[in-house]
Protein backbone atom coordinates (compact mmCIF):
# COMPACT_ATOMS: atom_id res chain seq x y z
CA UNK A 1 0.00 0.00 0.00
CA UNK A 2 2.88 2.36 0.80
CA UNK A 3 4.25 1.73 -2.69
CA UNK A 4 1.00 2.97 -4.27
CA UNK A 5 1.21 6.21 -2.30
CA UNK A 6 4.75 6.82 -3.55
CA UNK A 7 3.75 6.10 -7.16
CA UNK A 8 0.69 8.30 -6.77
CA UNK A 9 2.83 11.11 -5.37
CA UNK A 10 5.35 10.83 -8.22
CA UNK A 11 2.55 10.93 -10.80
CA UNK A 12 1.06 13.94 -9.07
CA UNK A 13 4.40 15.77 -9.24
CA UNK A 14 4.75 14.92 -12.93
CA UNK A 15 1.22 16.22 -13.54
CA UNK A 16 2.03 19.49 -11.79
CA UNK A 17 5.27 19.83 -13.74
CA UNK A 18 3.45 19.31 -17.05
CA UNK A 19 0.81 21.88 -16.10
CA UNK A 20 3.54 24.33 -15.09
CA UNK A 21 5.26 23.84 -18.46
CA UNK A 22 2.05 24.66 -20.33
CA UNK A 23 1.65 27.83 -18.27
CA UNK A 24 5.34 28.72 -18.75
CA UNK A 25 5.20 28.33 -22.54
CA UNK A 26 1.90 30.20 -22.86
CA UNK A 27 3.11 33.07 -20.69
CA UNK A 28 6.35 33.38 -22.67
CA UNK A 29 4.51 33.26 -25.99
CA UNK A 30 2.26 36.11 -24.86
CA UNK A 31 5.15 38.10 -23.42
CA UNK A 32 7.31 37.72 -26.53
CA UNK A 33 4.45 38.43 -28.95
CA UNK A 34 3.45 41.58 -27.08
CA UNK A 35 7.09 42.68 -26.92
CA UNK A 36 7.46 42.16 -30.67
CA UNK A 37 4.28 44.15 -31.38
CA UNK A 38 5.37 47.04 -29.17
CA UNK A 39 8.88 47.10 -30.61
CA UNK A 40 7.60 47.04 -34.20
CA UNK A 41 4.82 49.59 -33.81
CA UNK A 42 6.55 52.08 -31.53
CA UNK A 43 10.28 51.69 -32.22
CA UNK A 44 10.18 50.35 -35.80
CA UNK A 45 12.38 47.45 -34.78
CA UNK A 46 12.05 44.06 -33.17
CA UNK A 47 13.96 41.12 -31.87
CA UNK A 48 15.68 39.44 -34.81
CA UNK A 49 15.16 36.02 -33.26
CA UNK A 50 11.69 36.80 -31.86
CA UNK A 51 9.59 35.20 -34.60
CA UNK A 52 11.73 32.06 -34.66
CA UNK A 53 11.48 31.70 -30.90
CA UNK A 54 7.72 32.23 -31.05
CA UNK A 55 7.38 29.40 -33.57
CA UNK A 56 9.45 27.11 -31.38
CA UNK A 57 7.48 28.03 -28.26
CA UNK A 58 4.22 27.27 -30.09
CA UNK A 59 5.60 23.83 -31.03
CA UNK A 60 6.61 23.15 -27.42
CA UNK A 61 3.28 24.45 -26.08
CA UNK A 62 1.29 22.35 -28.53
CA UNK A 63 3.12 19.14 -27.75
CA UNK A 64 3.18 19.75 -24.01
CA UNK A 65 -0.56 20.47 -24.21
CA UNK A 66 -0.98 17.20 -26.11
CA UNK A 67 0.74 15.35 -23.29
CA UNK A 68 -1.64 16.97 -20.78
CA UNK A 69 -4.67 16.18 -22.97
CA UNK A 70 -3.52 12.56 -23.20
CA UNK A 71 -3.14 12.43 -19.42
CA UNK A 72 -6.65 13.81 -18.92
CA UNK A 73 -8.07 11.55 -21.64
CA UNK A 74 -9.32 14.64 -23.52
CA UNK A 75 -7.67 14.06 -26.86
CA UNK A 76 -9.66 14.07 -30.08
CA UNK A 77 -11.52 10.79 -30.28
CA UNK A 78 -13.29 9.45 -33.36
CA UNK A 79 -15.89 7.09 -32.02
CA UNK A 80 -18.24 6.03 -34.80
CA UNK A 81 -18.84 2.34 -34.26
CA UNK A 82 -18.70 1.76 -30.51
CA UNK A 83 -22.16 3.21 -29.95
CA UNK A 84 -23.57 0.32 -32.01
CA UNK A 85 -21.57 -2.39 -30.24
CA UNK A 86 -22.88 -4.50 -27.37
CA UNK A 87 -21.51 -3.43 -23.98
CA UNK A 88 -19.30 -6.50 -23.63
CA UNK A 89 -17.26 -5.52 -26.74
CA UNK A 90 -16.85 -1.81 -26.01
CA UNK A 91 -13.97 -2.35 -23.60
CA UNK A 92 -12.08 -4.44 -26.17
CA UNK A 93 -12.63 -1.86 -28.91
CA UNK A 94 -11.42 0.86 -26.54
CA UNK A 95 -8.31 -1.17 -25.67
CA UNK A 96 -7.54 -1.82 -29.33
CA UNK A 97 -7.95 1.87 -30.13
CA UNK A 98 -5.64 2.87 -27.30
CA UNK A 99 -3.05 0.28 -28.34
CA UNK A 100 -3.23 1.56 -31.92
CA UNK A 101 -2.75 5.14 -30.67
CA UNK A 102 0.24 3.97 -28.61
CA UNK A 103 1.74 2.24 -31.64
CA UNK A 104 1.31 5.37 -33.78
CA UNK A 105 2.89 7.54 -31.07
CA UNK A 106 5.84 5.17 -30.69
CA UNK A 107 6.37 5.14 -34.48
CA UNK A 108 6.28 8.94 -34.63
CA UNK A 109 8.65 9.09 -31.68
CA UNK A 110 11.08 6.68 -33.31
CA UNK A 111 11.15 8.39 -36.70
CA UNK A 112 11.30 11.87 -35.19
CA UNK A 113 14.25 10.71 -33.08
CA UNK A 114 15.99 9.69 -36.29
CA UNK A 115 15.13 13.11 -37.72
CA UNK A 116 16.53 14.87 -34.63
CA UNK A 117 19.71 12.79 -34.86
CA UNK A 118 20.17 13.85 -38.48
CA UNK A 119 19.60 17.47 -37.49
CA UNK A 120 22.26 17.02 -34.82
CA UNK A 121 24.72 15.67 -37.39
CA UNK A 122 24.02 18.59 -39.75
CA UNK A 123 24.79 21.04 -36.95
CA UNK A 124 22.64 23.99 -38.04
CA UNK A 125 21.52 26.71 -35.64
CA UNK A 126 17.97 27.96 -35.23
CA UNK A 127 19.03 31.31 -33.77
CA UNK A 128 21.50 32.70 -31.22
CA UNK A 129 23.74 29.60 -31.37
CA UNK A 130 20.85 27.36 -30.30
CA UNK A 131 20.99 24.17 -32.38
CA UNK A 132 17.97 23.26 -34.48
CA UNK A 133 17.91 19.72 -33.07
CA UNK A 134 17.46 21.09 -29.56
CA UNK A 135 14.46 23.19 -30.55
CA UNK A 136 12.82 20.12 -32.13
CA UNK A 137 13.72 17.68 -29.36
CA UNK A 138 10.25 17.93 -27.83
CA UNK A 139 8.81 15.96 -30.76
CA UNK A 140 10.19 12.47 -30.01
CA UNK A 141 9.93 13.02 -26.26
CA UNK A 142 6.27 14.12 -26.35
CA UNK A 143 5.18 11.29 -28.61
CA UNK A 144 7.07 8.76 -26.50
CA UNK A 145 5.32 10.01 -23.34
CA UNK A 146 1.94 9.92 -25.09
CA UNK A 147 2.69 6.39 -26.35
CA UNK A 148 3.43 5.25 -22.82
CA UNK A 149 0.24 6.88 -21.57
CA UNK A 150 -1.91 5.30 -24.28
CA UNK A 151 -0.35 1.92 -23.62
CA UNK A 152 -0.99 2.22 -19.88
CA UNK A 153 -4.54 3.43 -20.53
CA UNK A 154 -5.15 0.37 -22.69
CA UNK A 155 -3.89 -1.94 -19.95
CA UNK A 156 -5.82 -0.07 -17.25
CA UNK A 157 -8.77 0.82 -19.49
CA UNK A 158 -11.40 0.02 -16.87
CA UNK A 159 -10.23 3.10 -14.94
CA UNK A 160 -9.35 5.13 -18.07
CA UNK A 161 -6.56 7.06 -16.36
CA UNK A 162 -2.83 6.72 -15.86
CA UNK A 163 -2.43 9.36 -13.22
- Tally the residues of the chain: 163
- Enumerate the β-bridge partners of residue 127: 130
Q: Are 140 and 113 in contact (CB under 8 A)?
A: yes
**Helical H segments across 44-86, by residue range:** 50-71
**What is the pLDDT at residue 156?**
86
Q: What are the phi and psi torsion angles at 48 (to 5°)?
A: -60, -40
One digit per residue, pLDDT tens: the chain, 163 residues? 577 788 888 889 999 999 999 999 999 999 999 999 999 999 999 999 999 999 999 999 999 999 999 999 887 777 777 778 888 888 888 899 899 999 999 999 999 999 999 999 999 999 989 999 999 999 999 999 999 999 999 988 764 444 4
The domain spans of the chain are 2-155
Cα–Cα dist 122/113, whole Å:
14
Q: What number of CA atoms fall less than 13 Å from residue 20's CA on the CB side?
A: 6
Amino acid sequence: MHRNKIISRILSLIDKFEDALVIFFLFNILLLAITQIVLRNIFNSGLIWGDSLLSILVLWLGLTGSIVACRQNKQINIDVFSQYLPEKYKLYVKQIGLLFAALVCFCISYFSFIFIHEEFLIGEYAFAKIPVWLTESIIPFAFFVMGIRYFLQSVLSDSGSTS
